[in-house]
Chain A
């Protein structure tokens, strides 16, 4: 094996935003995120880097980062699943198909792929991927019983298994020191993402919903050091913007933990309301606090996953009933209402919608329910419905 990976990588894959005005830099960010070609990943590979694809929702990116690989969040894409379609039957969500399409079409070549038992459909992905590609395609069995006294020990071992796999694929030893360095990089990233969300909650007029989304989304497709540079540069500029609050209602968007709503849908919502909090790409913000740097890094990561993490419909934790967590999110953001969305055919999302509606009814919180699909292109009907919902609230 070659020596451990350096603590930070010199490879940069997204130079377009640099030395530009804030508006132009954000435009570049949006362009990157809207493109289904994942140019940043291609550049990484052209520079000789290896890619570890990981499906939604949460993944310990630090481990593959410490091996010098690029953790790429496989989150589907607005593409037609021309090649992938024949690998699936009906009644399935779109993200499965478009994610496989990215790999089959060669848009995103990888050296390894990892999925998780988040839902009945996604847990099939590693097997499907494995039948079609020669590189390792595995399930990382994140614990579904975080309330068990055995869950942290178990997860620590599971992370160690991932470490061994990443070493094999990358050809690099992953030392505890390299891991601690990676955790530090990701702690910084988490801090910056928390700051971004603080702006969304406290001064949502400073950043458009789609811009905030683009900034988060980029984290899953570029080196984190570079993403830290991006956020460190742009967040102060966003805070200094000369923008005034408008008379809009404050809304929490719930339902973006896995399949992503189309970018234009987020843009449309951003025109109509202030999206003050959401669960979009929640996996990138799964750990809610810094991971300790002292001690066993894998145990620290496992502990943080169990003890310091967010919530989603695909994780059961007796300490985190989803409806209570949603109400806390709504109250924490000072929101007036919620948009309860679910991707079409998403079993956990659709099931949780029922719980959410009953809980919000009980709490007297207004909500708007909707389904979406990443490939939908027409939003006029939906926009009209959202506007009507907003008018009802504003003029109630």
Chain B
């Protein structure tokens, strides 16, 4: 360390640097949109950025650019444009905001977005497939699916050496090799395996740091807000995956959080209730949604979002640089599968988090836009309650569509949830005393 570690130069650094990287990223996209050159459209669960960055392809994550329109309160206009075009109010708001951005020639509140030279998607979300089909029709550009088989039955993952796992791994490897061929065709550049090793090395640093970051929030008080800060970290983890800038960012972020843990520096409020968040954030009222919890001393110490929207970075899989393509296949299989597990088997994830992080309550936020994440939440909650008896809150709204976000109704339910938590705590204390 060249600089002395102090609260002033460390605390809050991750958020500032994350915001700067975000601006840098969108500037690059704006430049590409105006100067030409290929760009890839990808998704957060299995972006294959390690391959794309080997070809120096700028990447657009339409999920991220869409959520930015909600945070910046312009999503509703875009949703209307897409609905006028024919899309139903009942489908994914991310898709509709992106369709509107495309109809408007790439105009986005953070800068112009380039058109896709290719799109890359996994099957982690089926809407990825339908979404990429839209670009395929709009632009006639290649659409590369990386089909990653998930866990077949709750708790039944297979691992290296098992014949079922090997069949899945081989399938993924064939597809990654096919993606490399497509990238060569699109960019006119030969695949450089040494450069690929470099990007994998950076991804290894990032996943190691990501895992450490999540572990550090077991501290009391917790050191970052999984919902708000976590969304910044997710943006960098996705947009800069496999890059030197991404690796450096996360090393420095871990440094910041280790300092906070060592010095007992928590989030900006006094932590009274440690919560986990299951679902996708409410971006139309992003800050206010969080405040509805922090006003009661509730802090989000983790979320399933940090697991699945990082494409399974939490798993901490590190690529074997001596066998890079096969290892990327194995890593993608394990990590993306883990991301899917944290949606479909979220009850298991929540149970682990409750034990590891000392959680007081679970907040479920199913949304209209995302059935991948939301369909199993009510059932998972029932199961979790039966197994653990933990307090939980179930509030439905959306990540994009403010028409189905009722802040007043939310507040009523959140207030009642905290009153319940407070009563439980009193009763528990009385029981201990008595």
Contacts and interface: CB of A to CB of B under 8 A. Distances in A.
A and B: partners?
yes
Interface of A: 86-92, 96, 117-121, 123-128, 130-132, 136-141, 143-145, 147-151, 153-154, 157-158, 161, 313-314, 316, 318, 321, 342, 344-345, 347-348, 350-355, 357-358
Contact of B368 (A88, A91, A126, A127): A91
B379 A132 contact: yes
Nearest to B370: A120
A138 B126 contact: no
Contact of A145 (B145, B164, B173): B145
Contacts of B64: none
Interface in B61-99: 85-88, 90-92, 95
A89 B147 CA distance: 28
Given A141-B150, A157-B164, A318-B143, A120 B127 contact: yes
Contact of A141 (B129, B152, B163, B370): B152
Given A120-B126, A141-B150, A148 B375 contact: no
Contacts of B126: 117-120, 123, 144, 314, 347-348
B405 interface: no
A124 B377 CA distance: 9
B371 A350 contact: no
A161 B145 contact: no
A141 B167 CA distance: 12
Given A354-B85, A355-B137, 6 more contacts: A89-B396, A90-B368, A91-B367, A92-B371, A144-B129, A153-B167
16 contacts: A87-B379, A89-B377, A91-B371, A117-B126, A117-B150, A120-B126, A124-B343, A124-B375, A128-B375, A136-B153, A137-B153, A144-B145, A316-B133, A342-B88, A351-B91, A351-B130
Contacts of A316: 129, 133, 143, 145
A150 B123 contact: no
Nearest to B156: A138
Given A131-B154, A148-B171, A96 B382 contact: no
A92 B145 contact: no
A119 B371 contact: yes
B345 interface: yes
Interface in B175-189: 175, 178
Contact of A354 (B86, B344, B374, B376): B86
Nearest to A92: B375
Given A120-B371, A124-B376, A153 B170 contact: yes
A221 B339 CA distance: 35
Contact of A89 (B133, B143, B167, B374): B374
B171 A153 contact: yes
B211 to A, nearest CB: 24
A141 B163 CA distance: 16
A258 B71 CA distance: 35
Contacts of B178: 148-149
A354 B87 contact: yes
Nearest to B387: A131
A157 to B, nearest CB: 4
B127 A117 contact: no
Nearest to A130: B154
Contacts of B219: none
Contacts of A352: 130
Contacts of A138: 152-153, 156
Contacts of B154: 127, 130-131, 137
B149 interface: yes
A154 B137 contact: no
Contacts of B127: 120, 347, 351
Contacts of B372: 120, 123-124
What 10 pairs across the A-B complex have the smallest Cβ distances? A150-B174, A157-B167, A154-B171, A120-B372, A145-B147, A124-B375, A120-B371, A141-B149, A124-B376, A354-B86
A334 B129 CA distance: 31
Given A124-B375, A157-B167, A350-B91, A89 B153 contact: no
Contacts of A119: 126, 371
Contacts of A314: 126
Contacts of A140: 152
B378 interface: yes
Contacts of B86: 353-354, 357-358
A90 B125 CA distance: 19
A161 B164 contact: yes
Given A137-B153, A351-B95, A131 B379 contact: yes
Nearest to B347: A131
Contacts of B347: 131
Contacts of B152: 126, 138-141, 161
A96 B375 contact: yes
A236 to B, nearest CB: 42
B176 to A, nearest CB: 10
B376 A127 contact: yes
A350 B370 contact: no
B371 A131 contact: no
A347 B171 contact: no
B360 interface: no
* Most chain A C-beta atoms within 10 Å of own C-beta, residue among B129, B156, B164: B129
Contacts of A149: 174, 178
Interface in B185-234: none
B168 interface: yes
Nearest to A323: B137
Contacts of A128: 375-376, 379
A148 B174 contact: yes
Given A150-B175, A154-B167, A91 B147 contact: no
Given A348-B126, A357-B86, A150 B170 contact: yes
